Amino acid sequence: MGGSIKLSVDSDLDLVVLVANAVRGVCLELASEETVDAIERAVVEAVNNVIKHGYGNDHGHNVDISLQVASDRIVVDIDDQAPPMPRSQLRKAAAHRFDFDAANAGEIPESGMGLAIIRMSMDKVEYRSRPDGNRLRMTKNIPLKDGR
């Protein structure tokens, strides 16, 4: 089984639920509930990130989502034309381990968790920025379902 599905959504946080539901619907045909949760979580964080930090919550810009399905993995690309994510932010996310002291309220994070959640939810995360736009590629390996 293979194929691809493309979605495009306006840069409006109220519309991210539509992307989430579409991605969830496609992935539920292919993967376990737990895997689908992880993909939905990562896609929502990625699209939110583009809208909030890339476009500064300014409506009227496109966020493009593409799902490529193979027998053993689902690859999701998030494309945008916003200013690129700073490298320092990517490095910080890669190092995030949620190893805060739970007894110390001041240490418990309230923000800055999105990229770390993406990294922990997916098997591979790549980001590239070019003059024609940015692409976050997220890959989730999926165990073969019976009969596939």
Partner 1 sequence: MNIADQRKGSLLVAVVNEKRIDAARSTAFKSYVDDKVGKGDRRIIVDLTLVQFVDSSGLGALVFGLKRVGSDGLFALVGLSPSVMRLFSMTRMDRVFRLYPTVEEAVAVNSAS
Residue numbers of the site for partner 1 (CB under 8 A)? 13-14, 16-17, 20, 33-34, 37-38, 40-41, 44-45, 48, 51-52, 98-100, 102, 105, 108-111, 113-114, 116-117, 120-121
Q: In angstroms, what is the minimal distance from the CB of 14 to partner 1?
A: 5
Task: Please state, in angstroms and as integers, the Cα–Cα distance from residue 127 to each residue in 11, 30, 40, 78, following that order.
Answer: 19, 25, 18, 10
Tokens of 87: 């490298």
Q: In angstroms, what is the minimal distance from the CB of 112 to partner 1?
A: 8
Tokens 């194929």, residue?
Answer: 3
Closer to partner 1 at the Cβ: 106 or 131?
106
Q: In angstroms, what is the minimal distance from the CB of 106 to partner 1?
A: 8
Closer to partner 1 at the Cβ: 1 or 13?
13
Beta-carbon count within 10 A of 73 CB: 15
Q: Is 37 in contact with 20 (CB distance < 8 Å)?
A: no
